[in-house]
Chains A and B, each alone.
Chain A
């Protein structure tokens, strides 16, 4: 061993004797000195930012203009009072115009405000948000009379107890922020972390470096981005320099004047070559150690972030270099020429970059077409892909065909696919899917709530499209879905049920297929009266087997919910915001041409409100579920589960269950309620099950640590629950056994993009981009498999680009592994961390695996040639 160690030691000697080493060490020192003054300033957060806090500025404007003038809306009215008269007028005019336009849509007019409507609308939103921020900074929002009896979150209560006058400016702003948030509602303004951090350099704390993140979020962000930034900016240059410097090691060794002596020593040739190789890596290791240890020390000393994963970067990046150096070694052995070594190593670098670029573009395009949900409607199978485009499987052509879409939707979907091409596939976010498609057995129709691409101002209201086999799947636009509708459920007893974001449950009262025809007839005059909360609905014919109910994940910004529990929403009066939804039953005016592609939208009310008597805000479709066994609806909000039972023709609040989840109430959650089990998936990847009959927590699971949940599905009978994680794994819980969750024995694990149970309790599993397979739960026998003809892009990706990329070394992607290690280290792991908000590297160990294989191959070939070569 001594001879080989002496070769490595000699490399150190060569490195220390080299001036290049000292130059590089000085460069790194300068970099570290420049980074040293960076620190993080933490301060209470008060600012309302869009889109982090205001996801739907249109709803904010409507909330202000709609409820602000109403005196009984005390809280909103109080905030409205801080608005200057001219802005109040502008907002009111905007609101009234919009309301009128919704009742009397003009298909030729793109926006309520004319051709430049979107700009005017944006300006209005910005003014409203700016005014709210001005109120927060300049006014005293707290008014004991207004807020008395209103339940506020503990933080706000704490400030009030200390006395508003005793607060410093930052605390005052924070209190104002909490009160504004409370007044307008968590559905309108979402709460963020209590404090935000600003990146500062010495005494300079510029506002543009405000991180808008809490301390754990910042740590996580550093863990994710630091390796990337180092990789792309520092190490790219560092590796280039390392390649240039080390390229001469092998050719120099192979000079005949020194080689003969080396070969005469009692050492093996492969040992000699590998020791020289290790020596080259040792040179880079010196530099990498200094750089990373310096950064680790700086981060620790400056911001208390002692992240050991940064130190792990040292071996990881030395390994990344070793991949390049293995190429350099092979070229050196073959040509014994430094220039050729450098040139061909750089060519290799370029090829790696090229393969990676081609792969990512193809992957983006292919991933956009990944199936995320499957819906069975009698003999037809529908799917929704990541771009939220619904498809129907066409048996004759063996292809997925865009389903129930008009020209505008098709054009929009094309734009989405083109846009996806340029996205980073690892950071690609699911677009909020359409509501449905869902099978309505009562009317034998598939119904779908889509954004109306022709009328973008109706972004909080979706058009309801329906069709069936008999109509050749031509889309019929039946009208609008309820305002803020977020989910559509199918029930045997109640037919189609819609749920809105403010907690209303509505029942489809018309046959969506014939609603268009009925609209042509003169509508009977109905008295305009608000429907009382909890009013009984029109009875519906009992449907048959309900289509599978999908719960799609929205991988969006953290779905932070209002932490203030406040006064129960049900106690508030119907607002002007609600009114159009309730009153619009009389507004049947527009003719529909069902046989035309571009159809006008009916403005009839297809839905009747059927409760509940107590509203609970619902952030999005993940937070609500309908149990087809007992027709109950469960809503998750702020760490509590609210159950509603169907009784006497309407939904009534039953109970609020507060399981001990031990996480922030605002953490993203999925709720699935089937049979006797309420299944909660949390943003940190944990699963909790609760028994309906006892309201007791049954079990807690953490099946796939460190990967965010993508979707949860359950069979209608409540026996099977499957959780699909973002890493493509699917885990299963059999509630009849319920000992532990198991990784389902189905094909495509690791690549599963979506799943859904059908009415018969069988599980459709989507994998390999656009293929689905039906499994029998329990035996996990494949019953049916749909492998449609794929597009050129998908086929190219599947059979050429992906295999090539997987086999090819990826030295430029080691930051993913470091990010992964960093995110999983003890320092940055936090149960409180919402994984859904964090980007997740796909197959982080892949660069390492392919790198090891490639480097081994290069070195084996090099050793073989060196062994055979005569010098």
Chain B
């Protein structure tokens, strides 16, 4: 419940810190874009002549320079951005590829139309100019010019004819007429001129002085003397023609051969309209020719303009694209970084959400929700697994601490789990039993398992007796079916060691019997004995016949009663075993003494003490242990005596005392008749004996003594000790400390039952002195 409610997760921005410390830089790019666009538009406007600024080469060039500068500026910005992107991509920053793709796409989208339009426009211009400078237009212009020229030439030709004709006529006129009769000459001259429809004619000398002239209705300029005196221009055979469209006339001058240094000069006015048209046509033709000469210049200029505008737009769009990509990629980048953080298992990731980002903001929100949900679910899972884990640990602790043995059997009948108590009970370590079939590990349970499998009940109970390590154990078994799958049930088997309980029950039952015997037999014994004694005392004196028979009969009665009393006493003694008084004693010495006494009593048998440690200190009741050992050795001697003499050879008893961990072990190995194989454990119970005359209490008393010392008696075969040997191996085991390390279930309650059972007599509350006295009595009696 700790990790679940981490609601206060700080918003997480996985993107690298953006450079926000230079606001000028952020505004510089848009500013540059604006400048570039503005200069491009201005160039366009100026170039197309929409302003009053004359698009002279200088102006245009300076505009182009400005454009180039802004384009370079943009290029610089773009390079910077591209450098950043490349760096980012090289560093493997998230979404760098997307960034590049978006910028590339923007550039393509911006550049392709611009380039296409530029190419198309150039082609169009070229085509348009081609049309302008070739074909009909060109012809038209040239024709107009030709017509205008033809017109003037016609006039010139006319005036040439006229001037030649007038010159001839004047030449034929006798010179003296000119010199003498200037009036007649003039009339003649006039007639000649008007006959040729020359409105103006004059004779001038070489200095331009008028000699003769016609009526002057119009002023005509006299040719300058330089022309007149230039023989290349003006001679006497061919007139020098001058078309003066500005003066609206054509003039011709010729040297008169017969008149020295006299020139004829004629002029005829032209139609002012025609002359005007002619002038204009010439002008236009001139302009046209100029334009044609400038054609490639224009084309280049337009191409340049297109290039400038296209470049500007391209750069601008690339910059805008970069900017856009930045904005578009930023949230994606945040998401990608956050997602990669999530992929490493950290679910405490939240991306900042900016409403302005639209769909991406929504995506971010969804992502945040998703991580939160994941976190919650994972926390819940973790908590659940912790809970399960703690439960499992609890169950394991319960299992391992349970005194009952617990075995889990899976559907295939193999052992799936077993606890420490079960290990101890079945005498195999966990490793030897896990995954082994139960029928191998505990064949004694086969029948119960069969019942459990065949029966419909969920719970099958029963008792089995198993034999492990020389000990017989009574187990109460409960088989519970875990009905997961009817075909393959798994089972939980609970084993309760009720050996002690069973033995306690038997002991308790025997205690009751003992009390009944004491009560029912001992009571009538008193009057029988007293009667017999009284008979002997009272009538012994008066009987004279067969007095010996009388004595024998009464003696027999008294002796037998005494025997019965002793037997009853022995029963009672067992039913009320004294509590041992633990003192630090030497086991070795105790063994030595007991062996010594038995050696003296049974000199025909080799009784050898083997003391592995000497001295061997322990806490125990010397008298009781000595008693127990004596009992066991006595049993051994009796077992040896029971062997037929022809088989026996030499009787031998080995007594070995040693310390094993926290236990003292005294082994008594004989070569007597040995112990029965069946129901060995019952030998330890009271009243069970293999001998004809035994009371069956010897081993029971030894067992009780050792139990009170935190130990037990183990019944084995001598062949385990020395292969092939006949006889029994009794192992007396008790704790060095004198106390049981582990509380054996059933021991204490059994004893308590026995003692409680005795307190039927009134005034049962007795003092310690009485207890002590009682103990003394019992111990002495036990020696028998």
The judgment on whether A and B are partners is no
